[in-house]
Chain A
């Protein structure tokens, strides 16, 4: 059974739909890349899946034992965080909130979980450092570790490498790949990077005037125009 099923989904803001008739499903162990030009509604779709906003119509269903608060989320950077005094450890630990319920303090198990997540993303040595003093790549790893604290099942990543230089992007992609392969985490990733999508994804969801959902290989045949710009840097989708 699929972990996530979206049926006839229509989403948008204040009565103005951004996307309509969206149908797709994600099974455990899939690696889905969501591609599409800026403003095509990729972030909006993620927020709807997470329950941060309601769909106009249609449904988002979880299956296969996945619960709503068991989805890890890596948001697109917000401006509010830029001057926030917070240490890496505090931020990663806050990913365990879902496990606490109303309990006011973290147990040993949660602290261990945070330590493991930091270990996995190779940021243990940064634990006491201030988040805003870190480089962009390190910051993304911190947020990824936080997301990992919230789940072992499914990660939603909104443009994880935007603003990072190619080397650092590569490292981050490899880390995500490791989580997918070794820990069996289902990945939903928004990306502009066609090359990465083609390298790592098992499925593609293309949003825009023409929608597509299906395995990567089928996408390559049906959407050759998407790859025209892929050779040049940036790899934007037309």
Chain B
């Protein structure tokens, strides 16, 4: 126990570790907020598809030899998000197929690009870390840390300022429209936010595990709480705790950051499901 604490203090003395922790918490916070919207709007699929697009875009950036891959990845992902969300709600089936094609296509193209053009000796290692995020959070540059922190704060601010509108239009889009909310404008904004969060979350857990980071806290919260505000707050708190716990754990026992965080998320989800089950039994 003592040794563990000492080890944590030792790691904590490095600025890059502290940065990683702060950024990780911020990213987890906005992922969970977004997750509430995606789950309730039945957009879960979209997050998954876009994370593959982000992978493709990142490979492209790597092949082009860009030192800072974030702007390109962000741009491409935002474009795809806007495209998918526009064709989404109106044409349900077409939307699903479009997401599937885009996501698998991007995955294939990304891997192909890396295979063909990568100068790296450790190709499978590169691919693996883009997909599962291994250590990337610890290797963020100062600039990337600021960028992540800034974008996260923008997402959180957006959520706070438009909280009631988000509720209205997730609960009942048609009614929201009749009260004069510009639903299309918000869809566009949400599309941009989704893309931003996915690119951020990719830094933390890698592209394959993003969905877990986004969806688990929201689904766990929905097991136990029965109103929108409680679900939102609970999801945010859970996500932050899980991310922090996961990151510390991964430092201590030397496991990959992304999968450790997701594992903690999963455990919490199981715990909350158990609570719901027990409570349901008591009610019956």
Question: A174 at the A/B interface (Cβ < 8 Å)?
Answer: no
Measured CA separation A84–B168 after assembly (Å): 12
Query: Cβ of A133 and Cβ of B228 under 8 Å apart?
Result: no
Min CB gap A213→B, angstroms? 23
Question: A163 at the A/B interface (Cβ < 8 Å)?
Answer: no
Min CB gap A69→B, angstroms? 4
Question: A236 at the A/B interface (Cβ < 8 Å)?
Answer: no
A43-65 CB mask vs B (1 if < 8 Å, else 0) is 00001001110000000000000
**How many chain B residues touch the partner (CB < 8 A)?**
29
Question: A19 at the A/B interface (Cβ < 8 Å)?
Answer: no
Chain B positions 39-80 with a Cβ under 8 Å from a chain A Cβ: 40, 42
Choice from B164, B171, B179, B228 contacting A81 with Cβ under 8 Å:
B171
Q: What residues of chain B lie closer than 8 Å to A215, measured between beta carbons? A: none
Q: Max chain A CB contacts within 10 Å: which of B177, B227, B228, B229?
A: B227
Min CB gap A40→B, angstroms? 20
Question: A87 at the A/B interface (Cβ < 8 Å)?
Answer: yes
Query: Cβ of A90 and Cβ of B178 under 8 Å apart?
Result: no
Measured CA separation A90–B226 after assembly (Å): 11
**A68-B180, A85-B222, A105-B164 given as contacts; is B228 within 8 A of A146 (CB)?**
no
Which residue in chain B gives the minimum CB-CB distance to A128?
A: B227
Query: Cβ of A97 and Cβ of B172 under 8 Å apart?
Result: no
Query: Cβ of B228 and Cβ of A86 under 8 Å apart?
Result: yes
Min CB gap A211→B, angstroms? 25
Question: B86 at the A/B interface (Cβ < 8 Å)?
Answer: no
Measured CA separation A128–B179 after assembly (Å): 23
Question: B184 at the A/B interface (Cβ < 8 Å)?
Answer: no
Query: Cβ of A97 and Cβ of B165 under 8 Å apart?
Result: yes
Question: A130 at the A/B interface (Cβ < 8 Å)?
Answer: yes
Query: Cβ of A73 and Cβ of B171 under 8 Å apart?
Result: no
Query: Cβ of B222 and Cβ of A106 under 8 Å apart?
Result: no
Question: B22 at the A/B interface (Cβ < 8 Å)?
Answer: no
Question: A10 at the A/B interface (Cβ < 8 Å)?
Answer: no
Measured CA separation A51–B164 after assembly (Å): 22
Query: Cβ of A52 and Cβ of B178 under 8 Å apart?
Result: yes
Question: A36 at the A/B interface (Cβ < 8 Å)?
Answer: no
B binding-site residues for A, Cβ under 8 Å: 40, 42, 160-165, 167-168, 170-172, 174-181, 222, 225-231
15 chain-A/chain-B pairs, Cβ below 8 angstroms: A50-B178, A51-B177, A52-B178, A68-B180, A69-B178, A73-B178, A75-B174, A78-B172, A84-B40, A84-B170, A85-B40, A94-B176, A97-B168, A105-B164, A132-B226
